[in-house]
Amino acid sequence: MAISMYQASVPVFARALANLSSVLKKGEAFAKGKDVDPDRLLQQRLVFDMFPLIKQIQIVCDTAARGAARLANVEAQSFPDTETTLTQALDRIERTIAYIKTFKSEQIDGCEDLAIVVKMHDNEVHFTGRDYLLGYALPNLFFHCTTAYNILRVAGTPIGKLDYLGSR
């Protein structure tokens, strides 16, 4: 049996977001256990020229929200980048999960050949729905989830591969 575009997108996005929320909560607990303000984690980065943790979180949320909307061929809900606390970042993740779960399989299935145009900087990149999901949205989502995980790990949070993958 073939996998549908919906099955390959919305549930995967939602699981990645839930796992990100889980590792962030572990980071929060770790910081509190060290008597450090957990919100300081949001400005941590792997190296000086990479985005900090808060931006990684925002990009994951945007990728999931815009990804589901693009595949459904509708305008995406806007999530302004205004979070300054870990609580606000976790709330954004929850709001994003709730938003993407509003999409139904009927809206996304069959979009493999849908023309999708993504504006990146000064360019427009043209995709089919399949190429967008498999070649851009999923890799981008997992890149930023992995980077967020790595930032928390470098900061000392005791997390491992199973935390990243989440429970079944």
Kindly report, residue by residue over 125-156, the tens digit of the pLDDT: 999 999 999 999 999 999 999 999 999 999 99
Mean pLDDT over residues 38-50, rounded? 96
Quick one: pLDDT at residue 2?
83
Is residue 5 in a domain? no
C-alpha distances out from residue 9 to 63, 86, 133, 143, Å: 11, 26, 7, 15
Is residue 146 in a domain? yes
- Output 130-134 pairs: Cβ under 8 A, ≥24 positions apart: 130/5, 132/67, 132/70, 132/71, 133/5, 133/8, 133/9, 133/67, 133/71, 134/8
Is residue 71 in a domain? yes
- CATH number, residue 107: 1.20.120.450
- pLDDT > 90? residue 1: no
Is residue 4 in a domain? no
Is residue 97 in a domain? yes
Quick one: pLDDT at residue 63?
98
Is residue 3 in a domain? no
Question: Tens of pLDDT along 59-118?
Answer: 999 999 999 999 999 999 999 999 999 999 999 999 999 999 999 999 999 999 999 999
Residue 88, amino acid = Q
- pLDDT > 70? residue 14: yes
Reduced to 3 states (helix: H, G, I; strand: E, B; else coil), residue 124 is strand
Quick one: pLDDT at residue 120?
87
The total number of structural domains in the chain stands at: 1
State which residues form the domain around 52.
Answer: 10-165
- pLDDT > 90? residue 25: yes
Is residue 126 in a domain? yes
DSSP 64-120: HHHHHHHHHTSPPPP--S---SHHHHHHHHHHHHHHHTT--HHHHTT-TT-EEEEEE
Is residue 1 in a domain? no
Among the listed residues 127, 110, 109, the one whose alpha carbon sits nearest the alpha carbon of residue 118:
127
The two structure tokens encoding residue 62: 């945007």
In the numeric block, the tokens 């606390």 are attached to 85
Mean pLDDT over residues 42-69, rounded? 97
Neighbours of 1 (CB within 10 A): 3
pLDDT band at 168 (very low <50, low <70, confident <90, very high): low
